[in-house]
Structure 1
Amino acid sequence: MGGLREVAAPFVVPGPSGVAVRDRLKDLTAEDEKVLRLVGALLGSLASRDLKARCAAGLDHDTGQWAERKRVLTVESSSRWAGSITKASHDQWALARRCQLAHIQSLQAGVRTLTVRLSKQIGEKGTKGAPGGYRSKPEWFAKSRRLHVLADRLEREQADRDAGRVRVVRGGKRLLNARHHLDTAQMTESAWRQRWEAERGFLAADGESGKRFGNETIRVTPEGEISIKLPAPLAGHANAGSGRYTLTGRVRFQHRGSEWADRVTAHRAVAYRIHHDPARDRWYLTAAWQRPTVQTVPLDAARAHGMVGVDTNADHLAAWELDRHGNPVGDPRRFFFDATGTAGHRDAQVRHAITRLLHWAKRRGTAAIGIEDLDFQAEKTREKHGRRKKFRQLISGMPTGRLKARLASMAAEQGLAIVAVDPAYTSKRGAQHWQKPLTSTNRTTTRHDAAAVAIGRRALGHPIRRRTAPPPAHQSDGQGHRTVQAAPETPGREEPRPRIPGPRTRSMRAGRGANAGNQDTQHRSGRPAEHESWHQDPLPLSP
């Protein structure tokens, strides 16, 4: 056991700190759409220019430069639009820096693995904690060339990070490259142009507490009326006072509509974003606001009413309910989802699976869900998994990040706590200790079901194995109760089962007498009452 790593303690996942809802803008006139496109294109060009200035500043950027950028943009738009654009540029630069660090860490892991394997003899066997050598000379040669490629990439990325350089494409690098491969992307040039302009447009405004309806730039009344503060070059298109344009269509937020109405009525900050979907030719409005930090429930309180253990897989969630002692209750459940197709389809599938899981957990009366704290960011490289291409594709297709975020936010609305556990050895030990005992003629327990039990037991604070080792001195209960489900001080753990009521007869069947709970006092095969030296001989039947 010395080679096993230490398992981290379970913890309650904090709830979401923000809310975002979206609704479609209907009944827009041709003039409305024209104004929205003009505003989005103008602000998008300003955002592209400001992002270029922010990336050029790099690590030398300070508050003075930020204020100067905002002053330049204010002349061409307004102070509020300039504030939203500069903040968005800074957030984009920070996100690019985080992605750059993750890429560097991935390259470092690949270089380390290649260096270790190339240093070993060809065909040398690996150990459990370290990989072996490559199997042939051609493979060794190919990997040595790849080591130089990764080392060069790592050197370039590290130099960029030290200099504060990031590379960002407004609209997305994938969509940009699709312009040169329209046949492969199955798009026409006009369709690509519409999508490109929609992605690079900018129509987003941060909220302001204390201002009318929580936002002066994009104002939405409780009745759903939308008005936009036009930038200075487009002030001639205003149809309302103070250089504003009021849209003909109305918006109603079906989801969290009452919560949104309470905020705008109280003039609390709400951020808005208007965007266009060229594939469907629809306009949408997204409202977002922050929530006060909610104190998570204590871990003991989350464990009080049992736990639902959930094993995350590439195409389904395997769940099993456990009581507070760690015993599986009922039958396992599986919630399938399709992780193929577009990003919107995958997201909808994950939400649907999580919704069914939460509803089932609520019906079962549990207060918490145990799930693995998965993170495959460093586990996808081919240097780590070698020829196991299908396995790399499997873990790459598992929506771990999206699922964790969705599950935490949706469970908070249902009043359920999420307990994250260390994923170490859950599948292996679950199959070792629980798959066979939970399999019967009417139920086939899979490895994923057994892993769900292992995750639930770890979330409850119990070891995964079914029983603890017997005392070293002797194989009996003299030094303590062996099972971990009931502690020695638990009242009634050794008492007989309750007597089943029935008609009184002159004969008493076996197991129904006064000593039914103490099996050692009965004359049964294999019991100490027959084989111990102190056993009294039976009395003679006649004098």
Structure 2
Amino acid sequence: MGELREVAAPFVAPGPSGVAIRTRLKGLTPEEDKVLRAVGAHLGALASRDLKRRCMDGLEHSTDTWAERKRALTEESSSRWAGSITKATHDQWALSRRAQLAHIQGLEAGIETIEHRLSLPVGEKGTKRAPGGYRTRQEWFAKTRRLHVLADRLTAERADREAGRVRVVRGGKKQARGRHRLEAAQLTEAEWRQRWEASRWFLQADGESGKRFGNETIRVTPDGEVSIKLPAPLAHLANSRHGRYVLTQTVVFRYRGEEWADRVSANRAVAYRIHLDVERGRWYLTASWTIPPALTVPLSGARRGGLIGVDTNADHLAAWRLDEHGNPCGEPRRFSFDLEGPASYRDAQVRHALIRLLHWAARHGLNIAIEDLDFGAEKTREKHGRRKRFRKLISGMPVSKLRARLVSMAAELGITIVAVDPAYTSQWGAQHWQKPLTSTKRATTRHDAASAAIGRRALGHRIRRRTTPPRTHQSDGCGHRTAQAGHGTRRREESRPRLPGPRTRSDGAGCGVKTADQRAQHRSGHAAEHGFWQQDSLPLSL
């Protein structure tokens, strides 16, 4: 068995740093729809051109090149539209660089796994920690060829990263590839073209503190009136002063509406984005702003009163409530969700499961402990081989989205999230907690036991229920260890204290007073055995 890796200490997850709310633009006239499409298409073309120039600059990007790009965009739009476009370009380029690094790390992990398995004899079995050799000579030969393919890809990706080259598709690579699979997507060429163009439009503006209603480009008044600053080539479409186009219908934010109204009334920055849902034929307006980081609750405060340990699985969240001493209380809970279907349905399922979990935690007034999962290096087919179902299972788990949603939703209810290292929680939970927590009326699953292990780790306790000494030392005089005494506990090596009084109804009043003293008992090898001793005669009544 290999060495166990070091388990990281639990920590309090930081709260959300921003807020986004959305509403629908209802009652748009054909003229307003035409104006929005024209503005989005014009600014989208400028954004595509700016992204191309930024990718060409690569690592040679500087403040001067950024200023030159912004001046060129200002001539065809406005200074504020140019600032929003260049900022979006920089964010997209930085995201592509992070994705490129993740791809390189995935290739390195795949190459390392293949090299390890090729070094083993054919047919050698693996362990839980490391895979074994390949099953057949044919598979071994095929993997040698794949090793060269991955090595070539890794060389090319490293060269691109050193040169600062990235591959970016405005509108999304998935959408672009759909052009070649129209029958599978059940789309016509015109329908695909409409979706492709809408995904490449640009209608978003960053907020500005101190400006009127927090945004000069896309402005929304506290009464819900929406107006847009038109680019210079489309200024002839304006229906208001200063080249602005005002929509006839007003908007209302149902969620966080009061908070949004307070910000725009105080002229605090609010960013807006307008986009078209082609499938539904609806226009939406999204408002977002940053919030100051909340004061993080100390770990000791989050542990006060106990925690709720949560184990994340592919189709449910297993949760168990623990007191501050790490003892499971009540019955385990399960919050199920279904990840089969479209993205909107999966997102709603995860959100509904989190809502039920948070409401349960709020009723008990407890915080939540969850694993700090990351399957970035665990999804490669090189690691799991033919286990396609398992690879699909871990790939479908919404780890990052679930964690981000849980933190943001918990902040609204004042619930603290404690993140723990996921190492060995399922294995040790099943080993130490599954059987003791199982009864004739309760069938404890492996996931329930893992939730108890997660909660104990977050509380600072060991996952193991007790530390048992060797068989030769299991006596009171040698320090029988069945209690959870830490390494720094004073007098932990001494004998257990004996409570006064009889242990059972059959004991006399003075029985058990010197239970901890081995020499005061009649046991072999002790001084008490060598004293005078005589057995009383049996009573005649028996």
Q: TM-score, normalised by structure 1?
A: 0.90
What does residue range 317-396 of structure 1 map to in structure 2 within 5 Å? 317-366=317-366, 368-396=367-395
Find the counterpart in structure 2 of residue 151 from structure 1: 151
- The Cα of 1:521 is off from its aligned counterpart by 5.7
Find the counterpart in structure 2 of residue 469 from structure 1: 468
Cα 1:23–1:485 change in 2 (3 A) is farther
Cα 1:536–1:330 change in 2 (3 A) is farther
- Provide the rounded CA distance (Å) in 1 between the counterparts of 2:348 and 2:511: 57
Residue 397 of structure 2 corresponds to residue 398 of structure 1: yes
- The Cα of 1:233 is off from its aligned counterpart by 0.8
2:512 corresponds, among 508, 511, 520, to: 520
- The Cα of 1:125 is off from its aligned counterpart by 3.7
What does residue range 187-198 of structure 1 map to in structure 2 within 5 Å? 187-198=187-198
Q: Match for 2:47: what amino acid?
A: A
| Two-structure CA RMSD over aligned residues (Å) | 2.8
- Provide the rounded CA distance (Å) in 2 between the counterparts of 1:25 and 1:147: 53
Find the counterpart in structure 1 of residue 34 from structure 2: 34
- Provide the rounded CA distance (Å) in 1 between the counterparts of 2:143 and 2:246: 62
- The Cα of 1:112 is off from its aligned counterpart by 1.1
Find the counterpart in structure 2 of residue 414 from structure 1: 413
Report the number of matched residues.
524
- The Cα of 1:540 is off from its aligned counterpart by 11
- The Cα of 1:484 is off from its aligned counterpart by 1.9
Residue 2 of structure 2 corresponds to residue 10 of structure 1: no
In structure 2, stretches of 5+ residues that fail to align are none
Q: Match for 1:412: what amino acid?
A: A
- Provide the rounded CA distance (Å) in 2 between the counterparts of 1:101 and 1:441: 52
- Provide the rounded CA distance (Å) in 2 between the counterparts of 1:156 and 1:315: 38
Find the counterpart in structure 2 of residue 297 from structure 1: 297
- The Cα of 1:365 is off from its aligned counterpart by 2.2
- Provide the rounded CA distance (Å) in 2 between the counterparts of 1:462 and 1:141: 49
Cα 1:177–1:403 change in 2 (3 A) is same
Find the counterpart in structure 2 of residue 179 from structure 1: 179
Residue 438 of structure 2 corresponds to residue 446 of structure 1: no
SS in 1 for 2:20: strand
What does residue range 48-63 of structure 1 map to in structure 2 within 5 Å? 48-63=48-63
- The Cα of 1:177 is off from its aligned counterpart by 1.2
SS in 1 for 2:283: strand
Cα 1:411–1:519 change in 2 (3 A) is farther
SS in 2 for 1:284: strand
Find the counterpart in structure 1 of residue 83 from structure 2: 83
Q: Deviations over 1:104-127 (max 9, x none)?
A: 100011111111211222223445
SS in 2 for 1:292: coil
- Provide the rounded CA distance (Å) in 2 between the counterparts of 1:512 and 1:219: 85
SS in 1 for 2:512: helix
- Provide the rounded CA distance (Å) in 1 between the counterparts of 2:397 and 2:410: 20
Find the counterpart in structure 2 of residue 169 from structure 1: 169
Residue 275 of structure 2 corresponds to residue 278 of structure 1: no
Cα 1:519–1:156 change in 2 (3 A) is farther
Cα 1:468–1:540 change in 2 (3 A) is closer
- 8 Å Cα contact 2:335/2:356 also seen in 1: yes
Q: Match for 2:413: what amino acid?
A: Q
- The Cα of 1:457 is off from its aligned counterpart by 0.5
Identity of aligned residues (%): 68
Find the counterpart in structure 2 of residue 252 from structure 1: 252
SS in 2 for 1:437: coil
- 8 Å Cα contact 1:385/1:392 also seen in 2: yes
- Provide the rounded CA distance (Å) in 2 between the counterparts of 1:93 and 1:509: 73
SS in 1 for 2:457: helix
SS in 2 for 1:407: helix
What does residue range 94-173 of structure 1 map to in structure 2 within 5 Å? 94-127=94-127, 129-173=129-173
Q: Deviations over 1:437-482 (max 9, x none)?
A: 1111111111000000011101111111111234898324564863
Find the counterpart in structure 1 of residue 455 from structure 2: 456
Q: Match for 2:220: what amino acid?
A: V
Between 443-452 and 242-251, report the one with greater CA deviation. Answer: 242-251
Cα 1:512–1:321 change in 2 (3 A) is farther
- The Cα of 1:156 is off from its aligned counterpart by 1.2
Q: Deviations over 1:115-140 (max 9, x none)?
A: 12112222234455443321211110
Cα 1:512–1:153 change in 2 (3 A) is same
- The Cα of 1:157 is off from its aligned counterpart by 1.1
Cα 1:540–1:417 change in 2 (3 A) is same
Cα 1:494–1:18 change in 2 (3 A) is farther
Q: Match for 2:396: what amino acid?
A: G
SS in 1 for 2:249: strand
SS in 2 for 1:87: helix
Find the counterpart in structure 2 of residue 68 from structure 1: 68
SS in 2 for 1:287: strand
Q: Deviations over 1:395-418 (max 9, x none)?
A: 001100101111111111111111
- Provide the rounded CA distance (Å) in 2 between the counterparts of 1:67 and 1:512: 93
SS in 1 for 2:253: coil
Q: Match for 2:256: what amino acid?
A: R
Find the counterpart in structure 2 of residue 427 from structure 1: 426
Q: Match for 1:259: what amino acid?
A: E
- 8 Å Cα contact 1:18/1:290 also seen in 2: yes
- The Cα of 1:258 is off from its aligned counterpart by 1.1
Q: Deviations over 1:23-48 (max 9, x none)?
A: 11112211111111111011001001
- Provide the rounded CA distance (Å) in 2 between the counterparts of 1:539 and 1:206: 99
Find the counterpart in structure 1 of residue 314 from structure 2: 314
Cα 1:249–1:511 change in 2 (3 A) is farther
- Provide the rounded CA distance (Å) in 1 between the counterparts of 2:498 and 2:215: 68
- Provide the rounded CA distance (Å) in 2 between the counterparts of 1:513 and 1:415: 53
Cα 1:485–1:196 change in 2 (3 A) is farther
- Provide the rounded CA distance (Å) in 1 between the counterparts of 2:65 and 2:183: 44
What does residue range 483-494 of structure 1 map to in structure 2 within 5 Å? 483-484=483-484
- 8 Å Cα contact 1:171/1:196 also seen in 2: yes
- Provide the rounded CA distance (Å) in 2 between the counterparts of 1:150 and 1:67: 40
Residue 428 of structure 2 corresponds to residue 436 of structure 1: no
Residue 267 of structure 2 corresponds to residue 267 of structure 1: yes
- The Cα of 1:541 is off from its aligned counterpart by 9.3
- 8 Å Cα contact 1:470/1:476 also seen in 2: no
Q: Deviations over 1:413-447 (max 9, x none)?
A: 11111111111111111001111111111111110
Q: Match for 2:35: what amino acid?
A: V
- Provide the rounded CA distance (Å) in 2 between the counterparts of 1:415 and 1:496: 43
Q: Deviations over 1:60-96 (max 9, x none)?
A: 0101000000000000000000000011011100000
Q: Match for 2:132: what amino acid?
A: G
- Provide the rounded CA distance (Å) in 2 between the counterparts of 1:12 and 1:267: 33
- Provide the rounded CA distance (Å) in 2 between the counterparts of 1:489 and 1:251: 69
Cα 1:32–1:476 change in 2 (3 A) is farther
- Provide the rounded CA distance (Å) in 2 between the counterparts of 1:362 and 1:480: 40
- 8 Å Cα contact 1:480/1:488 also seen in 2: no
- Provide the rounded CA distance (Å) in 1 between the counterparts of 2:463 and 2:5: 15
- Provide the rounded CA distance (Å) in 2 between the counterparts of 1:183 and 1:174: 15
- Provide the rounded CA distance (Å) in 1 between the counterparts of 2:513 and 2:53: 89
SS in 2 for 1:520: coil
- 8 Å Cα contact 2:428/2:453 also seen in 1: yes
